[in-house]
Amino acid sequence: MMGWRAYAQKHRGRFLSDLIDFLRIPSVSALPGYAGDVQRAAQWIADRMTAAGIEGAKVMETGGHPVVYGEWLHAPGKPTVLLYGHFDTQPADPVELWTNPPFEPTIVGDRISRWIPRAT
């Protein structure tokens, strides 16, 4: 059986590609014009959860932006784990302060950056 580190290394290229695709979604929750993109980001996450074997992954509507929920209940007697995170972003303004376009992830060294501040 392959350990998680070996698995992660073996599939690194796919994981990196998926992450970059996700970072390209302009899920700016503070601006109403991006509501569709926030919804698209939520669906992206739900789809990846389903592909990973999370059951019942779904986008749930709220009074504001959607949340994504899924569960896997096949470890009787084991503790429950809850993962929580935001999938929305802040507006990129002022855009002129950035060296690469918003929502075009750039690899710099061993890191991914959505925006790189211009030197002042």
In the block, which residue shows the tokens 């075009």?
104
For residue 116, name the pLDDT band (cuts at 50, 70, 90): low
Q: Crossing angle for the helix pair 12-23 and 35-51, nearest 10 degrees?
A: 160
The residue ranges of every structural domain in the chain are: 4-113
Q: What is the pLDDT of residues 11-70, one digit of tens each?
A: 999 999 999 999 999 999 999 999 999 999 999 999 999 999 999 999 999 999 999 999
For the chain, give the percent of residues with pLDDT over 90.
Answer: 62
Paired tokens of 101: 């376009």
Residue 51 three-state SS: helix
What residues pair up with 28 in beta bridges, in sequence order? 89
Note the pLDDT of residue 39: 96
Distance of CA 9 to CAs 1, 6, 12, 45, Å?
Answer: 15, 5, 5, 21
CATH 3.40.50.720, applies to 4-113:
no
Query: Is residue 66 exposed (0-12), middle (13-18) or buried (19+ Cβ within 10 Å)?
Result: buried
Distance of CA 58 to CAs 87, 90, 110, Å?
Answer: 14, 24, 33
Calpha distance 53→105 (Å, rounded): 27
In the block, which residue shows the tokens 């389903």?
50
